Amino acid sequence: MSLWFAASAVVPVLQAEHSIGGAQAAALSSSVALGFVTGTLLSAVFGLADRLDPRAFFAAAALVGAAANAAAVLVDPTSAGFVVLRFVVGLSIAGIYPVGIKMATSWATDDMGLLVGLLVGALTIGSASSFLLAALGGLDWRTVVLGASALALAAAVLILLFRSGPRLRPATVFRAAYVLDAWRQRPLRLANLGYYGHMWELYAMWAWIAAFLQASFQTTVPGSEAPYWAKLAAFATIGLGVVGCLAGGALADRFGRTTLTIGAMLLSGACCLVSGFLFGAPPWLLTLFCIFWGIVVIADSAQFSASVVELSPPERAGTMVTVQTCVGFLLTMVSIHLVPTVAETIGWRWTFAFLSVGPFLGAWAMHALRRDPASTKLAGGRR
């Protein structure tokens, strides 16, 4: 997952060296999301997540993503080719994220939430790793990009050590029409709507938190130091989300999926609104707030996938998770592009406030799921 933000992490450098504007910078993130949406759509229609050997699928995807990401250092960052390569990176991640969830849940008994939470925690650290690479002093942006590719190559090798659990059931018969079950069946529809509300906020916040922090820090610390501390704070904000993933998984297994997701989305939605009041505050205070936000914004992420797995037939679980992530990341393209437009219009202080709509609507959807009889399938009946 280091590949996802490999370009976003070096946007400030690209803007300084190549005069990249806000819209083009957003395209570097949204093109990854568009590639991911395209890849997950193809995977869902052809049932790849349920028909292929998950290890081979994952490893091949990681190799393709690493190669496309590395090739970006040979291309002009202002060119269409650079954006196309980011699209290919997103395409490859369609064989990594949802497939990884299917692999992890194959070992679940009564700890589905924790297992998927552990996987999303790894996703969180991986996504943040590019910001850590970018914060290391003196590194050229090409070194950061190549470092992300090296991590993806390591993933392609490490995944071969995985052994499938007893819950893994390959599809013997697959029809593209199965994809529509995500909308036809009310419990799945509500779980997906909850996820979409969550995703409206998550990746837009992740993609632009470094820019938000830098804009705030520049009002309180010397200008030359602001970018460095903003990158470190962004890494901590995203990376420490692993705490939320693990805690959220354990709490969801104990108290229920809908209970955890509703609480987390109400908190993260509130953070969207509160962030403006802390813009320009002392860096340590804003950093602590963003770390808290980073923990709650991701705490529920795994539980939507866990819910879909529990509500779906085992032989279609991979496809249902793929459909869920496909539409969720399609929404992120909209919110990621809206953030710089809003920032240019009203300034960074209140930019994140509009993201609160997503988690609040998502909390409503999960409340509706909680009242559905099918919710007894979640977390061993703990809803």
In a domain, 316, yes or no: yes
Q: Which of 94-103, 294-303, 305-314, 347-356 has the lowest mean pLDDT?
A: 305-314
Tell me the whole-structure pTM to 2 decimals: 0.79
Distance CA 31, CA 11 (A): 14
In a domain, 62, yes or no: yes
pLDDT digits (tens, 9 = 90+) for 261-280: 999 999 999 999 999 999 98
Q: Record the tokens describing residue 332, joined without a space.
A: 């992120």
Amino acid at 163: R
Domain count, the chain: 1
3-state secondary structure 81-126: HHHHHHHHHHHHHCCCHHHHHHHHHCCCCCCHHHHHHHHHHHHHHH
Q: Record the tokens describing residue 273, joined without a space.
A: 């609104």
Which domain, by its residues, includes 28? 8-166+178-377
* N-to-C CA span, the chain: 30
* For residues 127-132, average pLDDT: 80
**Of the ranges 51-55, 167-171, 201-205, which is most confident?**
201-205
In a domain, 299, yes or no: yes
Amino acid at 382: R
* For residues 138-156, average pLDDT: 89
What is the DSSP code string of 307-342?
Answer: HHHHHS-GGGHHHHHHHHHHHHHHHHHHHHHHHHHH
Q: What is the share, in percent, of the chain residues with pLDDT greater than 90?
A: 37
CB 2 within 8 A of CB 148: yes
In a domain, 53, yes or no: yes
> Which of 65, 128, 102, 104 lies closest to 297 in space, CA to CA?
128
Label residue 178 by pLDDT band (50, 70, 90): low
In a domain, 2, yes or no: no
In this predicted structure, the answer to whether residue 74 has a pLDDT above a threshold of 80 is: yes
Q: Which of 29-43, 172-186, 194-208, 310-324 has the lowest mean pLDDT?
A: 172-186
In a domain, 1, yes or no: no
What is the domain-level CATH number for residue 285? 1.20.1250.20
CB 93 within 8 A of CB 159: no
CA dihedral 253, 119, 32, 25 (to 10 degrees): 90
In a domain, 201, yes or no: yes
In this predicted structure, the answer to whether residue 88 has a pLDDT above a threshold of 60 is: yes
In a domain, 173, yes or no: no
Amino acid at 151: L
Label residue 16 by pLDDT band (50, 70, 90): confident
